[in-house]
Amino acid sequence: MDDAHSAAPAWLGDPNLLAAFWRYERALMTNDVAELDELFARGGTTVRSEAGSALVGHDAIASFRAARPPVPLRHLRRVHLRPISADAAVIIAETIRGDRGTGVQTQLWQRVEGLWEVTVAHVSTVPGLQFSAPKLTAAEERAIWATPEARRPLVESVAHPDAVAHPDAVAHPDAQAHPDGTGRVGSLAGVRVAVKDLFAIAGERIGAGNPTFLAGKSAETTTSPAVAALLAEGAEITGLAQTDELAFSIAGTNVHYGTPPNPAAPGRIPGGSTSGPASAVALGLADLGLGTDTAGSIRVPGSYTGLFGLRTTHDAVSREGLVPLAPSFDTVGLLARDLPTLAAGARAILSTGSTAPGNSADAARSDSAAPPAAISTLIVDPSLVALADADTQASFEAGLRALSLASGTPVVQTSSAIDPAELEVWFDAFRLVQQFEAWVSDRSFVEANPGALDPAISERFRVASGLTDNQALDARLVLARATVRLEQLVPPGSALALPSTSGPAPERDASPAEIDRVRGATLRLTCLASLSGLPALTLPFGRVGTLPVGLCLIGARGADQALIGLATPRA
């Protein structure tokens, strides 16, 4: 391993203790009673409690364990470690089951004659609830959907004749056999998709989150390749979902249509600009959200609403039929409540390649490269983690500890950290190029329709209108150097782990100053994948109080599937 990535962060904990904990977790999942007995301290003082009663003594615990049925499969979400002394520590593990029920196990581990063993344990579980989509108010309906309820689903499933169920095909209750009569199904059969209102769908007008923009558009004559790829795998397009105006925001608010609800954090914004799809998926109105990510518009709503989200490698997915904001950074992405659905969607859209004019450079680099290596190292840069709020940093550490254990992937701390001053230069260059390209993309609409935009969005365009070609050229040179630096920091076979956002979602009635503060802090985290064109995956592994916050992984160019593979729990 490179010397720059050699030391595990101290907060991760004693590696022998973590290995013993994972032995316990693995034994529990495989019902290896003998291994579990070995990991519990011998003698009459060991205690295990659950459901209002306690078992005292190793033999009593072993007898109980031998008689009970295997426990349901569960996955680690966060692992908190609190050392008490050199030879004692408390581990609290938060888990989630397939029925979305949750659990917490608290263990006191002690080191005796060099070996770690459990001396006290408490287990609590919460049953999974039947997931059902709520009835929306008229205001919520308008804030989430650009397609009226009477017209949903917008496009029925039309699976491609050659679509065959993938081994990891998502099993949905509405999945239907393929219409060719062979019994084959597409890998997305029965999956409901909320499409951000930036993508072309034949027969529909694109609104881009602004009623004046919508009024000036004619119906599209073709469907964008990304949407078509999902349809070809059997997906249903439930409807077009709202976006922040012209996708030029990460807040998730819209003065024309309202703010979509955030069921994971009631009373708080959902994040944007892929706000409508995120809200629809989080509410259970859709299974998959198709959106875009320019500066964080998949990762931010994923973090705020507790969803899995993938920002694909720049140009790995065609942007044909997509309303642009800043083409150098615009990227197609996905949101889902679970990894199998996200993975199936990613396989579909990543098959489209890029046909966008003038965007062949990244695609050529990706096409000519060997298949991405499996990720074997998780890299942490303390200077990036420090950009998040203190509570978010602690939650990030617990989530990354869980991911490292569950995936068997070591965490190393880079000794080649990004200097905060260096990051600020990159961030300024990124924002300048984004604004410059946004003005090129939307100038004609903005100038022809004064007063049609939210004042905050209008102000961004006003600033952008004053930028020059020379300023943009200088900024692009900065970004080119930054990209080289980031590619060195995240070589193939590794992933950079960092908080997806600087904290949980702000309150809906937060002041403009607070929204801007959070926006600035978060963009300094999200701009890294954006400016370099690297893929990024946000995982719902963090929690601050009751509020979700994401853990982000940035991979090497083309490592989209490898990131998902890393996060997929081992059998």
CATH number of the domain bearing residue 323 = 3.90.1300.10
User: Rounded CA gap, 158 and 202, in Å?
Assistant: 14
Q: What is the pLDDT along the chain (571 residues), one digit of tens a residue?
A: 454 556 899 999 999 999 999 999 999 999 999 999 999 999 999 999 998 899 999 999 999 999 999 988 899 999 999 999 999 999 999 999 988 899 999 999 999 999 999 999 999 999 887 767 788 999 999 999 999 999 999 999 865 444 444 344 454 444 444 444 444 579 999 999 999 999 999 999 999 999 999 999 999 999 999 999 999 999 999 999 999 999 999 999 999 999 999 999 999 999 999 999 999 999 999 999 999 999 999 999 999 999 999 999 999 999 999 999 999 999 999 999 999 999 999 999 998 875 333 333 344 344 444 567 899 999 999 999 999 999 999 999 999 999 999 999 999 999 888 999 999 999 999 999 999 999 999 999 999 999 999 999 999 999 999 999 999 999 999 999 999 999 999 999 999 999 999 999 999 999 999 999 999 999 999 999 999 999 999 999 999 999 999 999 999 999 999 999 999 987 5
User: Rounded CA gap, 28 and 40, in Å?
Assistant: 12
Q: Are residues 28 and 111 in the same domain?
A: yes
Beta-carbon contacts of residue 456 (< 8 Å; ≥ 6 apart): 249, 512
Burial-class residue 368 by CB neighbours within 10 Å (0-12, 13-18, 19+). exposed
Q: Are residues 163 and 311 in the same domain?
A: yes
User: Which residue, among 269, 331, 342, has the nearest Cα to 309 in the 3D structure?
Assistant: 342
Q: What is the DSSP letter of 274?
A: S
Classify the phi-psi angles of 501: left when phi > 0, otherwise alpha if psi is within -120 to 50, otherwise beta. beta
The SS3 call for residue 366 is helix
Beta-carbon contacts of residue 13 (< 8 Å; ≥ 6 apart): 81, 83, 89, 401
How would you list the strands of the sheet with 88-97, edge to edge? 53-56, 47-50, 115-126, 102-112, 88-97, 74-85
Q: Specify the pLDDT at position 65.
A: 94
Give bridge partners of residue 56 from the DSSP assignment: 47
User: Rounded CA gap, 368 and 391, in Å?
Assistant: 42
Q: Specify the pLDDT at position 4.
A: 59
Residue 246 lies in a domain: yes
Beta-carbon contacts of residue 2 (< 8 Å; ≥ 6 apart): 491
Helix (H) or strand (E) holding 513: helix 512-532
> What is the bridge-based pairing of β-strands 236-241 and 115-126?
unpaired
Q: Are residues 101 and 171 in the same domain?
A: no
Contact 534, 370 (CB under 8 A): no
User: Which residue, among 207, 193, 291, has the nearest Cα to 237 in the 3D structure?
Assistant: 193
This prediction has a pTM of 0.92
Residue 408 lies in a domain: no
The SS3 call for residue 336 is strand
Name the domain boundary from 81, 96, 126. Answer: 126
Q: Are residues 148 and 122 in the same domain?
A: no
Name the domain boundary from 126, 154, 186. Answer: 126
Q: Which residues of 371-388 are buried (b: 16+ CB within 10 A; e: fewer)?
A: ebeebbbbbbbeebbebb
What CATH number has the domain bearing residue 30?
3.10.450.50
Residue 444 lies in a domain: yes
Residue 555 lies in a domain: yes
Phi/psi of residue 154, each to 5°? -75, -40
Q: Which residues of 394-403 are buried (b: 16+ CB within 10 A; e: fewer)?
A: bbbbbbbbbb
Residue 406 lies in a domain: no
Name the domain boundary from 89, 105, 126. Answer: 126
Q: Are residues 175 and 207 in the same domain?
A: yes
Give bridge partners of residue 194 from the DSSP assignment: 239, 289
Helix (H) or strand (E) holding 527: helix 512-532
Tally the domains of the chain. 2
Structure tokens at 257: 């249509």
Q: Which residues of 551-561 are buried (b: 16+ CB within 10 A; e: fewer)?
A: bbbbbbbbbbb
User: Rounded CA gap, 296 and 312, in Å?
Assistant: 12
Kindly write down the DSSP assignment for every residue of 33-71, as one continuous string.
Answer: HHHHHHHBPPSS--EEEETTEEEESHHHHHHHHHHSPPP
Q: Which residues of 222-251 are buried (b: 16+ CB within 10 A; e: fewer)?
A: ebbbbbbbbbbbbbbbbbbbbbbbbbbbbb
User: Which residue, among 257, 45, 305, has the nearest Cα to 144 in the 3D structure?
Assistant: 257
As a 3-state breakdown, the chain gives helix, strand, coil percent values, each rounded to 5, of: 35, 20, 40
E strands, 282-355, are 288-292, 308-311, 332-336
Kindly write down the DSSP assignment for every residue of 466-488, as one continuous string.
Answer: T--HHHHHHHHHHHHHHHHHHHH
> For residue 558, how far is the Cα from the chain centroid?
17
User: Rounded CA gap, 269 and 54, in Å?
Assistant: 43
Residue length, the chain? 571
Q: Specify the pLDDT at position 7.
A: 85
Q: Are residues 332 and 234 in the same domain?
A: yes
Structure tokens at 141: 């309906």
Q: Specify the pLDDT at position 52.
A: 86
Q: Specify the pLDDT at position 324.
A: 99
Q: Specify the pLDDT at position 415.
A: 80
Q: Are residues 106 and 145 in the same domain?
A: no
Residue 411 lies in a domain: no
Structure tokens at 319: 């942007």
Q: Are residues 38 and 83 in the same domain?
A: yes
Q: What is the DSSP letter of 145?
A: B
Q: Are residues 88 and 149 in the same domain?
A: no
E strands, 298-385, are 308-311, 332-336, 377-380
Beta-carbon contacts of residue 406 (< 8 Å; ≥ 6 apart): 75, 76, 569, 570
The SS3 call for residue 493 is coil
Contact 500, 457 (CB under 8 A): no
User: Rounded CA gap, 198 and 240, in Å?
Assistant: 8
User: Rounded CA gap, 335 and 234, in Å?
Assistant: 17
Residue 496 lies in a domain: yes
Neighbouring C-beta atoms of residue 478, cutoff 10 Å: 17
Q: Are residues 315 and 273 in the same domain?
A: yes
Residue 193 lies in a domain: yes
Q: Are residues 322 and 440 in the same domain?
A: yes
Q: Are residues 223 and 142 in the same domain?
A: yes
Q: Which residues span the domain enclosing 212?
A: 138-381+418-567
